[in-house]
Amino acid sequence: MVAGGFVVAAVLLAFLGIGLRAEVGRGIGPAEWAAIRFTVLQAALSAILSVACAIPLARALARRRFFGRGFLITLLGAPFILPVIVAVLGLLTVFGRSGWVNALLQVAGLPTLSIYGLHGVVLAHVFFNLPLATRLLLQGWQSIPAERFRLAAQLNLPPKMVRRTLETPLLLQVVPGAAALVFVICLTSFAVALTLGGGPRATTIELAIYQAFRFDFDLARAALLSFIQLVLAGGAALVALWIIPNFSLSAGLDREMRRWDAQPGLQSMMDAGVIFLGSAFLLVPLGAIVLAGVPGLALMPLSVWKTAGNSLGVAVLSVAVLLSIALPMAGWISTRRAGGAEAIGLIGLSASPLMIGTGWFILINPVTDPVPLALLVTALINALMALPFALRILVPPTREVLTTYDRLSRSLGLQGWSAWRWLVLPRLRAQIGFTAGLTGALSVGDLGVIALFADPDRATLPLQMYRLMGAYRTEAAAGAALLLLAMALALFWICDKGGRWRAEA
């Protein structure tokens, strides 16, 4: 309850800060309208494209068995822990001005592409959310009982009929939710818009907050934009809450299921093509980071190592803060009826990092200089942002543990700290490790609120990488990207493995 209070207070304080400065009377000018239009447009396009591409990919993955399938499905979870700025650099290496695709086009004598602007932002969002949408759809496909496919095979239904009787009803159920989730995620996108968007025609609200703050130091405008962001994202989250599916981040999606409707020939070739294209779209930029990064490692200035240390500190602090909030909250929510978790998730979805950062800045600024607190604030806000995910992971198993061992614990008088120490923590080790890993990876790779507060002396590795990119030191930036990727993966791996190491049945 205390932890829940902390979260609500943190968010309410931000609202208060914004409320103090937002001059709603000043009205929404043409620049704000442009930001709103662009935000909604890019989020809608990202959602539609992600889900549209996810349908054939998920269908192919659901009915085909091939070498590396398990690896590919694991990889679909990777964008959760892949730092946005790293992915952007990978996409730039492939699709950028002097990237691989353009080099090919030039050789072929065709006009080159530009990745900046609306299509760049959408491309990056699809890169991140196609895997998420695919996992959601795949989960849906696997929720169709094997018996139904057996029945379809027994009746010798042609693929068209399988689609109509089994797949279409499922898609109608899952697709709107998946699209809504991607839409909400893309509404508050910052790092992608910062690197690939910009300019009056490609500025999201989140980016506009940053610009009002950093370039003009117009706190009133930043607060007004934060208010708009809150209404927009909060409203969308409220609507989406009804249709977003109950996604699981860790469920085993590699369950074997025999599919009799999988046919050789054209269908098989098309599935293979879809899987090839999908995995290439995800794997090539990742490979590009490694290829470009290795030579860049030697070219990295000392500042990169220093900021890497900062990032590590931020990540560790985030994990500590997150666990000390999420665990008591999970325990508290678990003893109550379902519903509370959804409300907290709603706060997390509707509160964007830059909005909270702006609110806190406005409150801190009159009291003390916020800049020295940059890293601390970043760590806290990262923990806050990871909270909805953490609760989604932790609450169901906590509820199960408390129900299963309720009578035994009560008969032994096991309660309070002892119950945590001897029952909940050991039973939840795997999930706690997974949550800590996710949070650490998200936090170490986050480029958000730190951009608001930082000065040249205080930066995190993602911010330093962004600065190197801005200074056209592409090779050093690629080296930093590889380092950052390695840190994110290592943090995730260590925590996740630590949770499962010698875990008891």
Partner 1 sequence: MLRLEKITIAQGDFLLKADFRVTPGRKTAVIGPSGAGKSTLLGAIGGFLPLAGGKLWYRDAEITEAKPGQRPIAMLFQDNNLFPHLSIARNIGLGIRPDLKLSPEDHARVAKALERVGLHGMGDRKPGELSGGQQSRAALARVLVQDRPVILLDEPFAALGPALRHEMLDLVHDLSDEANATLLMVTHDPQDVRRIADDVIFVEGGRAAAPQPAAALLENPPPALQAYLG
Name the site residues for partner 1 (rule: CB under 8 A).
404-405, 407-408, 410-415, 417-418, 421-423, 426-427, 504-505
Query: Given the complex with partner 1, which of 107 and 505 has the nearer CB atom?
Result: 505
Six-digit token string for 19: 């409320």
Give me the least distance between CB of 336 and partner 1, in Å please.
Answer: 19
Distance separating alpha carbons of residues 409 and 407, to the nearest angstrom: 5
Query: Given the complex with partner 1, which of 101 and 414 has the nearer CB atom?
Result: 414
Query: Given the complex with partner 1, which of 47 and 402 has the nearer CB atom?
Result: 402
- Tell me the torsion sign for CA atoms 354, 355, 360, 365: positive
CA 125 vs. chain centroid, Å, equals: 10
Query: Given the complex with partner 1, which of 229 and 398 has the nearer CB atom?
Result: 398
Please choose, from the candidates 412, 266, 249, 396, the residue with its C-alpha nearest in 3D space to the C-alpha of residue 331. 396
Query: Given the complex with partner 1, which of 30 and 416 has the nearer CB atom?
Result: 416
Whether 329 contacts 380, CB under 8 Å: no
Whether 96 contacts 115, CB under 8 Å: yes
Please choose, from the candidates 233, 261, 274, 280, the residue with its C-alpha nearest in 3D space to the C-alpha of residue 137. 274
Query: Given the complex with partner 1, which of 280 and 503 has the nearer CB atom?
Result: 503
Distance separating alpha carbons of residues 405 and 431, to the nearest angstrom: 18
Query: Given the complex with partner 1, which of 106 and 403 has the nearer CB atom?
Result: 403
- Going by the DSSP 8-state scheme, the letter that residue 456 receives in this structure is T
Give me the least distance between CB of 500 and partner 1, in Å please.
Answer: 13
Give me the least distance between CB of 496 and partner 1, in Å please.
Answer: 18
**CA trace torsion 281, 284, 290, 291 (10° rounding):** -150
Give me the least distance between CB of 497 and partner 1, in Å please.
Answer: 18
Q: What angle do CA 320, 344, 18 make, to 5 degrees?
A: 90
Give me the least distance between CB of 430 and partner 1, in Å please.
Answer: 11
Distance separating alpha carbons of residues 224 and 18, to the nearest angstrom: 7
Give me the least distance between CB of 418 and partner 1, in Å please.
Answer: 4
